């Protein structure tokens, strides 16, 4: 027989505890959203920089040409053992000297976080662009000053410089961001002759969208 003073939790008490726990979890989840979005922004930016730096370093160390392709463009026609490009793809190919471009070999294929794309968001400055490259009319804007140039790819040479697959020096800029979130915008600029990379982020400067070096 149960003792008269033995007592457990009532159904109402348990329901109240669960409701309070769910409310606290919801508040925590909502408060973490800005931080999680910022993490994705930084992950995307770091990934772009890492892939470009990796391709340049491999070109120098291997004494070969390495091509970095952004987005959906199939820029080499070579074998794709790691999958076809998507809108968020960054692919690296090795193009051995003295061979046809179609003989290039894919060495990596990575993608931006799901909520980040190569894009220029509405409100991005069209005048004061990163390092003065272009007018922010395209998310992938390489081959600056080259008529009919290929704007979605970069090829690093054994001396570390950046060219296109036609042999032209290839400076430019790319933009990434989250749809509808202007200040998620990041940019990377490339200087052709040195292969130097610079990172940028868009900030609200007294109500004016302004690029600052990352």
Cβ–Cβ < 8 Å for 151, 138? yes
Give me the residues of the chain with pLDDT under 50, please: 1
What pLDDT, on the 0 to 100 scale, is given for residue 187? 97
Cβ–Cβ < 8 Å for 48, 69? no
Q: Is 197 exposed, middle or buried (0-12, 13-18, 19+ CB in 10 A)?
A: middle
- Which is nearest to 57 in space by CA: 201, 197, 200? 197
Helix (H, G, I), strand (E, B) or coil at 68: strand
What pLDDT, on the 0 to 100 scale, is given for residue 11? 77
What pLDDT, on the 0 to 100 scale, is given for residue 24? 76
Question: Could you tell me which residues come within 8 angstroms of residue 153 by beta carbon, excluding any fewer than 6 positions away?
Answer: 67, 68, 69, 70, 73, 75, 142, 164, 165
- Which is nearest to 59 in space by CA: 7, 27, 94, 16? 94
Cβ–Cβ < 8 Å for 187, 121? no
Domain covering 11-213, topology? minor pseudopilin epsh fold (3.55.40)
Two tokens, residue 207: 């109500």
Q: Give 191's strand partners.
A: 196
Helix (H, G, I), strand (E, B) or coil at 96: coil
Residue-range domain boundaries for the chain: 11-213
């Amino acid at each position: 027989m149960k003792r008269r003073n033995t007592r457990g939790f009532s159904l109402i008490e348990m329901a109240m505890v669960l409701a309070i726990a769910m409310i606290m979890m919801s508040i925590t989840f909502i408060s973490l959203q800005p931080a999680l979005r910022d993490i994705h922004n930084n992950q995307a930016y770091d990934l772009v920089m890492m892939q470009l730096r990796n391709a340049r370093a491999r070109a120098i160390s291997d004494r070969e040409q390495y091509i970095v392709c952004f987005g959906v463009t199939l820029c080499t026609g070579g074998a794709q053992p790691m999958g076809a490009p998507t809108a968020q793809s960054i692919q690296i190919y090795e193009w051995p000297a003295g061979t046809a471009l179609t003989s290039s070999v894919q060495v990596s294929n990575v993608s931006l976080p799901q909520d980040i794309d190569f894009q220029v968001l509405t409100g991005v400055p069209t005048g004061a662009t990163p390092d003065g490259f272009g007018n922010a009319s395209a998310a992938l804007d390489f081959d600056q000053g080259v008529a009919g140039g290929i704007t979605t790819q970069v090829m690093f040479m054994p001396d570390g410089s950046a060219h296109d697959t036609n042999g032209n020096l290839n400076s430019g800029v790319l933009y990434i961001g989250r749809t509808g979130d202007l200040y998620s915008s990041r940019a990377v600029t490339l200087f052709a002759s040195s292969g130097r990379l610079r990172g940028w982020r868009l900030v609200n400067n007294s109500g004016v969208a302004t690029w600052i070096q990352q």
